[in-house]
Structure 1
Amino acid sequence: MGEFAGRSIEVDVTNIAHGGVGVARHDGRVVFVADAIPGERVVARVTGDSKKSFWRAETVSVVTASEFRQPHVWTAASIDRDPADRAGGAEFGHIRLDHQRELKRQVLAESLQRMAKVTSDVQVEPLPGDDERGGTGWRTRVRLHVDDSGRAGPFAARSHRVIPVTELPLATDELSAAAPLDQDFTGSDHVDVLAPSTGGVRLIIGGKKAQKRTTITEIVGEREFRLADAGFWQVHRSAAQALTKAVQDAVDPARFDPAAHNLDLYGGVGLLAAAVADRFGPATKITTVESDAIATDYAADNLAEWIGARSETARVERWVSDLAASASASERSRLARATIVLDPPRSGAGRDVVASIAALAPAQVVYVACDPVAFARDVEFFAGHGYTLTALRAFDLFPNTHHVEAVGTLSRG
């Protein structure tokens, strides 16, 4: 493909693909075009990672603009810049916010239809305050990468080249004001900037010398969750609260048994286990399983008030498989009445984990998904074991990016 790299082509963008890129055709070949909107005609530059079967390209200029195009929310990522110099991390920032959600809806609905043969009219719901701010000011965590000269900034879109910037419009006001965009970090790999619910902004400098872990506190509703400063937490300032409520609503109370062997898989520091226990009472039995031992330790503390809650450190795929193989008859009875909350990484649960969960025969699975294609694939795997997608909601936890979160309920029988 080297002979085509750098070639300029003029194409009509017809629809959106997973990953937030537009889809076009040129001389019969599919072209995935970044920074374009379906309905536009653009001039795009073919990139070096194109394949024989398809090309990748980056929009250089717009010939016919979509009615949904707007000035980019981040000047560092604007189409006015050469593609190589555009900051990454806000790939939908040139699209009007309501249409961003429509494109995300399309990707989710089309993935479910294509992969799982499920028809859905799901809508992508905004989080409080995002419309008023045009989808900016929501990130509580930002990673800045450091180049050879010590400058910190985001990577360029679709590359590992650091782009110096003077603003971080997706970050909360507190984080944005404290971000060290003009400091020298020579000798470091990256700098994480985070603004927890309490305690103010802090930096975690990554390099050869690991920075000592400290504990932070995040507040969700009336609850506090303790976790490591470098540990996983939802990035959007309102996401933890939104997912707490969404998971609580997704559990069908007619199928929920607080005395069953309820599970929270890929449970982190216990946020969603706490959501379930909060809804169904302090006697709720629920086990959270997480491979990160540090997170599991925090989960044990965060769930201490629920006498039936416990935390396990294990790889989910192995733990569930072992449980399915070793459960006694009485244990299988408790599992058959169980609700399982499943919040896998972006790659999804996968065939083997779904099969192991299905072998437990729980009454329902509440699936929290951050990737629509992986989610649709897993819905199809669950269908093969007799589980039907009975409820689905989607949330715009990442405005001005292509990412979307879904919460689905899968019921047996």
Structure 2
Amino acid sequence: MKRHTRPRQNKGASHVGERFEVEVGPVAHGGFWIARHEGRVIFVRHALTGEKAIVEVTEGSDGDTFWRADAVEILEASPDRVQAPCEYARPGGCGGCDFQHVAVTAQRDLKAQVIKEQFRRLAKLEVDITVQPVHGDKEGLRWRTRQTYVGPGKGMRKHRSHDVIQIDDCLIARHDAREGGEGSLTETVDAAGTQRTFQVAADGFWQVHPGAPTALVEAVLDALQPQSGESVLDLYSGVGLFSSFLAERGASVTAIEGEKVASEYGAGNVLKARSITSDVAAWLALNPGESDLVVLDPPRAGAGRKVVTAIADRSPRAIAYVACDPAALARDVATFAELGYRMSDLKAFDLFPMTHHVESVALLVPDRVLA
């Protein structure tokens, strides 16, 4: 049977390549700034709030509600602007770094602004947050312990494109950065006075900033204050980073991970925990009950209402939510609030310098605790 496809809507004349002057407004989630031209919203990269710039449209037609553009000439520069250390961090260059033109301390301020705006807009909360640096980078450079290139050579994608640009050296990658491969690797983490060793698949997930595991483990332990004998659910547990340190505190840990290889590594890394390979939402639906504590470290899209509801139904005394996307975190925090759990603490870490990405750890507790 012939498949009928919906005809592509004609949105009018393209404006790609056009240039005009704008005044740059606030930073937005995603590594761009908001500007306006003749009433239309423009998402601008390579800019800074308060600047006057000439921008060039990279995506946009008459029928689009917003356009995308690059700042190609700065007429009035922000005091936070610096010369990008990488020659490829420019319009038409590598799309990996959003903030190389911004002083490192100002980058953290921008990320804090984004977190505040996402919570204000999506959770109706005013949060006071400072994005903290972690040990292991050199003024925002040389921190990636793993790097993936588009072969052959050192190819990197352009922003929102499959086009590849060849580079000589990625400045956010360590000189000894691994480039994937087969087999397993050994990672050692020192946190909260304890050293633990983990086996990780060479092509599996592990935090790429060397200071990330320590910062996140200590934030989770500080938030939960686990006690010996307490039951803990570690959801989206990966290779057992949090489970390992929680089990060392004497907690009874059940680790749920949907990715089979990661779950198998987790079982080997944390012999004191019960490791289960399962989709998190499916396991929670089939295994009702109570848990004293929950660690929640979902993918970028967040946990979602089904998982959040199942967690709240288990009546934990505390939930540590580890998030790599502030918008997803804010949405889930709003859902937790509907179900009787409030955010009582929030920390943020600069685990991805020179990019717009930021990691957060939120503590959620029952309403009665804050009453």
Q: How does the TM-score come out when normalised to structure 2?
A: 0.91
CA deviation after TM superposition for structure 1 residue 70, in Å: 0.6
The match for 1:94 is 101
Among 273, 280, 285, the alignment partner of 2:252 is: 285
Residue 258 of structure 2 contacts residue 277 of structure 2 at CA under 8 Å; is this kept in 1? yes
Among 163, 167, 170, the alignment partner of 2:169 is: 167
**AA paired with 1:388?**
R
Q: Aligned to 2:157, what secondary structure does the other structure show?
A: coil
Among 199, 218, 221, the alignment partner of 2:187 is: 218
Residue 152 of structure 1 contacts residue 162 of structure 1 at CA under 8 Å; is this kept in 2? no
| 2:58 corresponds to 1:47 | yes
CA deviation after TM superposition for structure 1 residue 129, in Å: 4.7
Alpha-carbon distance in 1 for matches of 2:157, 2:96: 8
Q: Aligned to 2:23, what secondary structure does the other structure show?
A: strand
Q: Aligned to 2:199, what secondary structure does the other structure show?
A: strand
1:231-380 aligned within 5 A: 231-251=204-224, 253=225, 256-278=226-248, 280-281=249-250, 284-304=251-271, 306=272, 309-324=273-288, 327=289, 332=290, 335=291, 338-380=292-334
Alpha-carbon distance in 2 for matches of 1:139, 1:151: 18
Alpha-carbon distance in 1 for matches of 2:296, 2:357: 19
| 2:80 corresponds to 1:65 | no
Q: Which moved more, 1:269-278 or 1:104-113?
A: 269-278
Instruction: Figure out how many residues of one structure are paired with residues of the other and give that number.
Output: 351
Contiguous gaps of at least 5 residues in structure 2: 1-10
**AA paired with 2:241?**
L
The match for 1:127 is 134
Among 117, 120, 123, the alignment partner of 1:110 is: 117
Q: Aligned to 2:149, what secondary structure does the other structure show?
A: strand
C-alpha distance 263-49 of structure 1, shift in aligned 2 (>3 A): farther
Alpha-carbon distance in 1 for matches of 2:126, 2:65: 30
Alpha-carbon distance in 1 for matches of 2:68, 2:115: 22
Among 127, 143, 148, the alignment partner of 2:148 is: 143
The match for 2:4 is none
CA deviation after TM superposition for structure 1 residue 152, in Å: 3.5
Contiguous gaps of at least 5 residues in structure 1: 176-192, 195-202, 205-212
Q: Deviations over 1:234-271 (max 9, x none)?
A: 010111111111111111x3xx4543431000000000
**AA paired with 1:317?**
A
Q: Aligned to 2:322, what secondary structure does the other structure show?
A: strand
Percent identity, aligned pairs only, is 42
